[in-house]
A and B are shown apart, each in its own frame.
Chain A
């Protein structure tokens, strides 16, 4: 790896997220600090309600922090409005969700093309075809999400996440809705493509086995960063 790629692509400093509830202010995340190097894979783990999905939403610029800041590939998210954050996502970020989040009215191919089309990329179809072939769905191009199995839908979602060659990929429990066979298949695809593309992977999971495949594991407990430890991938590398 080059020295340049070893630079931090994500820097989180003093990140706090609070919301107002009927009972008063509720702190979901409190003073989180960490950084992620480019090309690194990081798992965010923790119990349900610990705040890991909130952390993911803040990192991806889907939500705004109450305090602290996030620097995403050199851009301070707190200084960007929603439009600018959307543009940043369009250029640099890919997503994989637990519930697949495919647009029901579009075919597998069109779903994969969607981010590239929104970004005005004229080469969307070629990229999408290539990615769908990589995830083994070149025979399912014209199928709608309702005509695909859960595993196939998630593979479409993975192909969609990699279109436009994003620098960072956010994955929220990508295999939680799948059986173990399909889950493993999807996880393998995710890591393989991540490696091939040199993407930084931020993965939210409470599957310890999946987390261990990452370079580092960030453990969140009751909104606080408990530990950061190396995963098995770190030793493999």
Chain B
């Protein structure tokens, strides 16, 4: 019998809109989690796939010692695709010209991700292929064709072997962003290594294994591999690679994660408030039912069935809306990206259903228990049971649930703690402020009958309810502001990293006499360019008289720093500079004194090398340039941001090095198609200058950043909608109380204008206070988050302090005013009856 009654009550409550807020809150939580997790997962998978291209694999294992064959074989056993590579330098000889080439020998499976770009001849159209050269063939980069006077089909000697030059190598997926050896690249079949006889015991070579496969297979394999990794072997994925892309990707992921957390938090706030509100509204019916003989058991069954029905129904609707939303979003993104997004899998479904159920249970548990405890005596003593509404257990349980949900979703304790802590701070500050403001208004002595005094009086009267409302408003505004500012900061940071006018062409091998004409050429053609860096190769021979080779083998940790790219480079490119380059920071010692008259040559060393070579300030490094030897004293160590697209140097010498060694110069310029003709005539005039085109790589990086920005924009929009819904649901939830006040005021003869203005001012005040606190707290939290999670220097955003209160006041007042105006349109008698 109770089931029939329960369904009837449910249908009526639902139709009356009593359950709409709780329904909307659960649906919102499910929708937010589903759409965010599936869109971010789909975008993430796509980006990961795309960015895997950048290392030509999903993971790679690198070492400057041979890697045991069973390591590769085991990869295949785990179901992974594998490929092997070997890097070494060797002389190329053709047409009486001899040049040192940078050789990459690859097995036929290379590349596992991405494509190799080739041209059939120097003037051909570039196209993409999967795979490397066939046995007996080599692919050479354009620079080598010019240097050796080759054309496709010619023979070239590489080490002891003879090979046919079959293609022009334009680009490889895993080519470094910036490498001075960029124009001397050779791609060779792995099977031809022996034929070159260039790799002998003791040769400087660099080994790399590539792996690709499902994430689970990769992690299973890594679990097997990890215990046997040697100090000189390093395991990397795209995110480990220090590049603008890797860093930005990691930041974008963290942003999406944060946005997801905020979505959950907003939905949770809406759920906690609406569950409590719904239960409070059921106090009278429950008291009545108990009075009329309804047993506790029956009442419990009725309301638990209501909860199950509303939860099930709202989860279904949330999933449906979420599915449609993510489908539209993904379709739009796919169109923009020009590629289909991978399917997200079951995680978003399971996660969102689980979160929906947890939200429904945890946030309504305490209010429901309170509801079951409502004494029947309430039918006579109307206020009985009201004190239950301010349950600390409910607040505690809700906070705990929010914390656990955030932790579960993010799997990051620190992020969760920072966000949760800042949220508690908002709550604490707002409670203080609401007490202060609501009691201060009393002392202002505003004239009775004015809209302002009525607004203040209303605020004071409902101090507790307002504090709750204020907190919800502030949380929603805080989260929205936080994401907007973070998004702006992040995207502007990226734009700084890869600015629109970033150089897309490196010019190397510029002779001393060619600097001025080249500078003039840039000037005449209005080409923006970097300064001319003097560059020379020197062999690091010894430190404090001890031979470098011995010193390195003494070191246990032979792990290769990413910055060194391929292999141990004991012949780094050196330069001298007067100013510390952008993206570098002195970590120890002092930068060169440009006014120094001393003859002593100083060197500033990348701090990654400090440990590696066991260097200390004051150590003397001996360099060999050809047969010429010079010593330099280490006077500083620098951290280097290898993520920038600017040239970076491991060692920088003091400016007094000028004139002591023969150098070439290096520069970078931003060129477009209109410069092609002029450039080719320039190169004809100065044939020794080599150009490295990084346009395609730059465009690739910019395109991925654009995709990530778009994804963030999409996610932000969802969170903003969630935030707006929280605000709407809050105002809606307080309508019943407002209705009562409107009735009283109108019965007492208050003019409609007075009531409307009072409502407007009340919401303006609430919104402005909430907005101000939200702005302050979000800015402080942002500072912490940026430093702790995003590894960037945080900064304050004064505009947010104005934006917060303004948006808060405007938004809250607008929603509140319209909703209350709607109430006002009904006549007093109608309202009275509605109040029952």
- Measured in the bound complex, the distance between the Cα atoms of B380 and A48 in whole Å is 14
A20 within 8 A of B: no
Chain B hits for A115, CB < 8 A: 292-293
The reply to whether B836 and A145 form a contact with Cβ atoms under 8 Å apart is yes
Chain A hits for B290, CB < 8 A: 86
Contact A57:B377 (CB < 8 A) given known A62-B291, A106-B8: yes
Chain A hits for B436, CB < 8 A: none
* A84, closest chain B residue (CB): B295
Say how far A143's CB is from chain B's closest CB, in angstroms.
11
The reply to whether B288 and A118 form a contact with Cβ atoms under 8 Å apart is no
Q: Mark interface residues in A120-132 (1 if CB within 8 Å of B CB, else 0).
A: 1110000000000
Q: Chain A: how many interface residues by the 8 Å CB criterion?
A: 40
The reply to whether A90 and B294 form a contact with Cβ atoms under 8 Å apart is yes
B285 within 8 A of A: yes
Q: Dominant SS at the B interface? A: helix
Contact A106:B9 (CB < 8 A) given known A89-B291, A118-B2: yes
One of A33-41, A97-105, A189-197, A214-222 contacting the partner: A97-105
Which range holds the interface residue count of chain B?
20 to 34
B565 within 8 A of A: no
Q: Mark interface residues in A77-119 (1 if CB within 8 Å of B CB, else 0).
A: 0000011001111110101010111111110001000110111
A199 within 8 A of B: no
One of B12-20, B108-116, B227-235, B387-395 contacting the partner: B12-20
Chain B hits for A82, CB < 8 A: 296, 376
The reply to whether A89 and B293 form a contact with Cβ atoms under 8 Å apart is yes
A56 within 8 A of B: yes
Chain B hits for A146, CB < 8 A: 833-834, 836
A213 within 8 A of B: no
B379 within 8 A of A: yes
Say how far B390's CB is from chain A's closest CB, in angstroms.
18
B156 within 8 A of A: no
Chain B hits for A172, CB < 8 A: 380
Q: In chain B, residues 356-402, which have Cβ atoms closer than 8 Å to a Cβ of chain A?
A: 375-377, 379-382
The reply to whether B9 and A86 form a contact with Cβ atoms under 8 Å apart is no
A200 within 8 A of B: no
Chain A hits for B559, CB < 8 A: none
Chain A hits for B375, CB < 8 A: 62-63
The reply to whether A118 and B292 form a contact with Cβ atoms under 8 Å apart is yes
B194 within 8 A of A: no
- Measured in the bound complex, the distance between the Cα atoms of B295 and A53 in whole Å is 23
The reply to whether B293 and A106 form a contact with Cβ atoms under 8 Å apart is no
Pick from A56, A90, A101, A148: contact of B293, CB below 8 A: A90
The reply to whether A83 and B295 form a contact with Cβ atoms under 8 Å apart is yes
A147 within 8 A of B: yes
Q: Mark interface residues in A129-166 (1 if CB within 8 Å of B CB, else 0).
A: 00000000000000001111000000000001000000
* B5, closest chain A residue (CB): A117
* B10, closest chain A residue (CB): A105
- Measured in the bound complex, the distance between the Cα atoms of B1 and A157 in whole Å is 22
The reply to whether A104 and B9 form a contact with Cβ atoms under 8 Å apart is no
Chain B hits for A91, CB < 8 A: 293
The reply to whether B293 and A57 form a contact with Cβ atoms under 8 Å apart is no
B148 within 8 A of A: no
B289 within 8 A of A: yes
Contact A89:B836 (CB < 8 A) given known A62-B377, A97-B380: no
Say how far A22's CB is from chain B's closest CB, in angstroms.
14
The reply to whether B289 and A95 form a contact with Cβ atoms under 8 Å apart is no
B677 within 8 A of A: no
Please, could you name 20 A-B residue pairs with CB atoms under 8 Å apart, sorted by A?
A: A57-B377, A60-B291, A62-B379, A63-B375, A83-B296, A83-B297, A86-B295, A90-B292, A101-B284, A103-B288, A103-B289, A106-B8, A106-B9, A110-B8, A114-B288, A118-B294, A121-B1, A147-B833, A148-B833, A160-B292
8 extra interchain contacts, Cβ-Cβ under 8 A, other than A89-B291, A105-B16, A145-B833?
A: A53-B380, A62-B377, A101-B284, A103-B284, A106-B9, A106-B12, A118-B294, A147-B833
Binding site for B on A (CB under 8 A): 53, 56-57, 60, 62-63, 82-83, 86-91, 93, 95, 97, 99-106, 110, 114-115, 117-122, 145-148, 160, 172
Closest 9 CB pairs of A and B: A90-B293, A105-B12, A118-B294, A115-B292, A89-B293, A146-B833, A120-B1, A62-B377, A62-B376
Binding site for A on B (CB under 8 A): 1-2, 4-5, 8-9, 12-13, 16, 18, 284-285, 288-298, 375-377, 379-382, 833-834, 836
